[in-house]
Structure formats: C-alpha cells, structure tokens
Amino acid sequence: MTFCRRRHPNSSPAAPLEDDDLLAEILLRLPPQPSSLPRASLTCRRWRLLVRDPRFLRRFRAHHRSRGTAPVLGFFTDEGIGISFHPTLDPPNRVPPEPFRLQITGSLLNCRIVCCRDGLALLVNVHPGKVLVWDPVTGDRRSLLLPQVFRNMDKFYSGMVLRSAAAVGDVDPFQFQVVLVRCIKGPHARAIACVYSSDTRAWGDLVQISTPLLRTLSVARSGALVGRSLYWSLYGNSSNAILEFDLDRQNLAVIPLHMEGWIMSAEGGGLGLVSVSGQRAQLWKRETDSDSVATWCLTKTIHLNNLLPTISWDRLVIDFMDESNTLIMGTLDGIGIFTVHTESMQCKQLPVEFKILPRVFKPFASVYTAEIGVGAEHAGAELLHN
C-alpha cells in the first residue's frame, strides 16, 4: 500500500526573497556602485541588517573584485603639499573625500603613492625605510620594513601591490603581495626584484637579471599585470625595453622594445602596449610566430581629436590605468583631466582642475559602501543626496 504524505500548508518552501541565503545571493549581484547597498537598505529593516552584515560586505567586495568590476572612485594625487584624494564619480555615487585621507604620525610631504591596485594603495617614505600597504575603504594598513637594497631613497624604484586571490569570503581580506623592482646602472647593470607576502610576513629572496646592454635604463613608475606576470617599461638615452617579472616562477626577463608606451593587456589576452603621439593613440599586441619570433602588431588606432572636446592640444598624457585600459590625459589650458577608455572609446572629463599638473596621479578603484563606513553613521543618507 502506498501512502501519500499531504504537505502541510505551513511547510511550503519560503518565497525567494524570504530566504536569507537566497536573498544574500541576489543582493550580492547588485552593481558595485557606492549607492547600490544604501538604496537596498532602505527597503526594510531585514534588508538593512543583511547588507550591513560584515560577512556579507566582505563577500560583496570580493565578488566584484574577482570580476574586475570595481569602479574608479577617484584619484590620489601628490601636488607637492602631501597626498590628496579627488572623488570623480557623478552623484549619487560620489564618495566623500574625508575617509580617504591618510592619517599618520609625522609629515606626508615626502610620502608618495607608488601604486593603487585591487583596492589597495602602496605608499613609500611614510616612515624612513618603510612602505605602507593601505586599504582606504576598510582602514586596514600594514607597515613593512624595506629590504636593504631598496632603502636608499636617492635611487628610484617602482613596485606593485596585489591582493591575494585567497582573500575572499569570510577569511581575512587583508592578504596581499608587494613586488618592488629597480634598475642598478653602471658596468654591472642589472634589474632586481623582491616580493613580500602577507602570508609569511617576510620578504623573499632577491631576484636579479644582468642587463649589460641597458646600462642607462630606469624603470617606469607605472606597471601592469598581464596574466600572471608584472611588466614595467624601461627607458633610457638610446634604447627602451620591458621588464617582466613572472609571479609563479619568481624570475625576471628583459624584452627589447623599439618604441615608447604603456604596457597593457591586449584585447583577447596577451601582452599589449599603447603609445601616444600628438592626437593619435595606437594599440599594439605582441605576437609570436611558429618559429618563436616575437613581433609587435598594430591592432587599433584611436584619433583622440574625435573623442575629446575642442581643447588646446598642448596637452600631456599623465598615465595609463591597466586595470581598466584607460588613458589619463591632462590639458595645459586649465589642467583639465580626461580619461579615454581604449576598448569602448568612451571619453570623460573628470570634475577636477589643477593649477599645475600633479607629479603623481593614481586612479583608485574599489568597492565602497557608506554603511561599512569608514565611520560615519549617516553616511548612507549623505551619499544618496550628494
């Protein structure tokens, strides 16, 4: 005999929005704009408690970081009077600048930002012989004693900070690597690199490569992450090259280069480069044939005068943001700042002006929500009405 169990009316499955786990998965996919979670929190008390839960916020940030969808919240600049933050998103997503002011003991006049990536900032000379890794959104920070070969501030070096792929979910999100590189000139010219891991809380062994034909080269300030390798342009009096650091193999290589530009991820993957001359930007991709001979192939030409408004073309290209393949350009007529996305061809003028061009101009992309605050109890309401 077969019995059929009659479902009790009260045992029916919960509606999707009444299931906290399913609701969290839905809210996790909201756009990473600063106003998204504050708007959701206005729906009801239950939603507000969920989106303010620290575990949910960690997942929300990690979800969008892993997909590369974190928006550029603004730019850090050094205008000779210390480090400043300039928000650039349109209302209601424009973030207040106050939470992004670095608070340290001592002077910020000699401090500079080396790199911003993965929602982290790498700063040098905050304290003598040290670098600082800082998450401006959460306020997390860690000061690192520099390896001896990098402590001489008269010798310029570059670096990059990378958030660890393991920093997701409910684990500690402040896990990272720092990679420092510099060139040593002279008869024994060489490039050197060293890696710090927050897992071991120590610097690894010094990695170096001889560069006898590149004795006059210096390493560029801005680097790029392409696949699992880091790249920096090398420049000198008579020749150029690219310095490659393989994160997995922990080794260095030098790639000859016969033009100047910024390293980027090429469309479809692989190593790319963007060069700017006059009113024209050209995108190149490094291709390797069946005989393992590498060449640079032109893939796109961007006529900047068709994208930018009518401006004086006495302008300077400030930098290139490889996280979003965006050119950052400054015009000398009022020091207006423009961004040009090399894939979508979208151009935007940023709501900032300077009397002189900043000597450091670093875009900062991250997932910011007012509720986690960096401290202001009513920041959500201010954000939605700014």
Task: Encode pLDDT of 19-58 as tens digits.
Answer: 888 899 999 999 999 999 999 988 898 999 999 898 898 8
**Which sequence spans correspond to the domains of the chain?**
71-366
Average pLDDT over residues 297-317: 77
Percent of the chain, pLDDT > 70?
78
Alpha-carbon distance of 131 to 161, in angstroms, equals 11
**Which positions ≥6 away from 294 have C-beta within 8 Å?**
255, 286, 287, 288
CB hemisphere CA count around 14 (13 angstroms): 8
Alpha-carbon distance of 269 to 230, in angstroms, equals 14
Contact 191, 208 (CB under 8 A): yes
**Residue 16 banded pLDDT, cuts 50, 70, 90:** low
Residue 381 pLDDT: 42
Mean pLDDT in the chain?
81
Residue 216 pLDDT: 59
**Which positions ≥6 away from 211 have C-beta within 8 Å?**
183, 189, 190, 191, 217, 241, 254
Alpha-carbon distance of 23 to 9, in angstroms, equals 23
Residue 298 pLDDT: 94
Query: By three-state DSSP, how is residue 266 classified?
Result: coil
Residue 263: C-alpha distances to residues 217, 278, 293 (Å): 17, 19, 20
Contact 233, 242 (CB under 8 A): yes
Q: Which residue is listed with tokens 């009397």?
A: 355
pTM assigned to the model: 0.84
Residue 148 pLDDT: 87
Query: By three-state DSSP, how is residue 62 classified?
Result: helix
Terminal-residue alpha carbon distance, the chain: 69
Token pair belonging to 328: 């950052």
* Res. 169: pLDDT tops 50: no
* Res. 198: pLDDT tops 60: yes
Residue 171 pLDDT: 52
**Residue 65 banded pLDDT, cuts 50, 70, 90:** confident
pLDDT, greater one: 324 or 110: 324
Cis amide prior to 92 (ω within 30 degrees): yes
pLDDT, greater one: 359 or 9: 359
Contact 192, 207 (CB under 8 A): yes
Cα four-point dihedral sign 259, 265, 268, 269: positive
- Domain 71-366 fold is Neuraminidase (2.120.10)
**Residue 380 banded pLDDT, cuts 50, 70, 90:** very low
Average pLDDT over residues 176-204: 90
